[in-house]
Amino acid sequence: MNEPPASVLAADEAAPVSLYNGGGASPFLLVADHAGNAIPRALGRLGLAEVELQRHIAWDIGIAGLGRLLADALDAPLIRQNYSRLVIDCNRPLLAASSIPTISESTGIPGNVGLDEANKAARAKEIFRPYHDRIEAELERRRQAGTATALISLHSFTPVFKGVARPWHAAVLYNRDPRLARCLLPLLDAEHEFTVGENVPYTVSDATDYTIPVHAERRGLPHVLIELRQDLIADEDGRREWALRLARLLPPAYRALGGGR
């Protein structure tokens, strides 16, 4: 056995977190927990073939590009994670079994089996923490500046999961606070072209989520988690279509709950 690495990320590797359009004047703050599929060199591709690291198990396909287009269209900041959720899932509590998954859908993740606490802690410290600290710092900066904020958590889902096709084009998810979701859902439904899920195919909970409970619910910020089906945003035309649609619908949804702008 090799000695465990003293740290996960080498000095020349990508930062875990990126801020795009940081000066954006919008009340919306966009976050993308699963935007990247990078794997630190020290983890040896987690024992997976390259093709697995391009699949939905590794990241939210299409969301990085969609997020940038939406950030541009809304003039909103976008904070995104650059490393794969297979390294450490930035939308899971650190104590959740799925924080560092040993299986995803039906694929075993060899590099995550039998990890000791030191290696788990290194991933939390170098990848999970900097991402959430960055969101926290941005929310705190906005609070101190008196800037109203609605947190928009961007995700994408695979059209077929464990052999079952999913009927939704998009979905709106929330847990304790439905305010912004309830304003956005009728606007999406009014597009008439789509099947829009409400708290399907996933739900938001303290046990299965981190970003919405910790950053939005605890601060009492209006928020919504938006899921887009990956085949709809797999190419640039699809990403642009959905970015422009969301940029058109989010401001009136926010105004409908009494937000400014």
Query: Which lies closer to Zn ion via its Cβ, residue 34 or residue 123?
Result: 34
Shortest Å, Cβ 57 to Zn ion:
11
Structure tokens at 43: 């983890």
User: Which one, 70 or 119, has the nearer CB to Zn ion?
Assistant: 70
Minimum separation from the CB atom of position 91 to Zn ion (A): 6
- Separation CA 134–CA 140 (nearest Å): 10
97-136 footprint of Zn ion as x/- string (CB under 5 A): ----------------------------------------
Residue (84 or 149) nearer to Zn ion, CB: 84
Minimum Å gap between C-beta 21 and Zn ion is 21
- Contact between 229 and Zn ion by CB under 5 A: the answer reads no
Q: How many chain residues bind Zn ion (CB under 5 A)?
A: 3
Choose between 155 and 179: whose C-beta lies nearer to Zn ion.
155
**Distance of alpha carbon 229 from the chain centroid:** 14
Identify the residue among 16, 60, 188, 238 touching Zn ion (CB under 5 A): 60
Half-sphere exposure of 15 (CA within 13 A, CB side): 8
CB of 56 to Zn ion, least distance (A): 9
Least distance from C-beta 131 to Zn ion, angstroms?
Answer: 13
Identify which of residues 119 and 211 has a Cβ nearer to Zn ion in the complex: 211
Binding span for Zn ion by CB under 5 A among 6-14, 113-121, 147-155, 159-167 = 147-155
Identify residues 33-52 at the interface with Zn ion (CB under 5 A): 34
Three-state SS for the chain is CCCCCCCCCCCCCCCCEEEECCCCCCCEEEEECCCCCECCHHHHHHHCCHHHHCCCCCCCCCHHHHHHHHHHHHCCCEEEECECCCCCCCCCCCCCCCCCCCEECCEECHHHCCCCHHHHHHHHHHHHHHHHHHHHHHHHHHHHHCCCCEEEEEEEECCEECCEECCCCEEEECCCCCHHHHHHHHHHHCCCCCCEEECCCCCCCCCCCCHHHHHHHCCCCCEEEEEEEHHHHCCHHHHHHHHHHHHHHHHHHHHHCCCCC
Q: Which is nearer to Zn ion, 149 or 230 (CB)?
A: 230
Q: Which of residues 150-179 bind Zn ion (CB under 5 A)?
A: 155
When CB distances to Zn ion are compared, the closest residue is 155
Range in contact with Zn ion (rule: CB under 5 A) among 6-14, 60-68, 160-168, 174-182 = 60-68
Nearer to Zn ion, 34 or 132 (CB): 34
Distance CA 156, CA 163 (A): 17
Binding site for Zn ion (CB under 5 A): 34, 60, 155
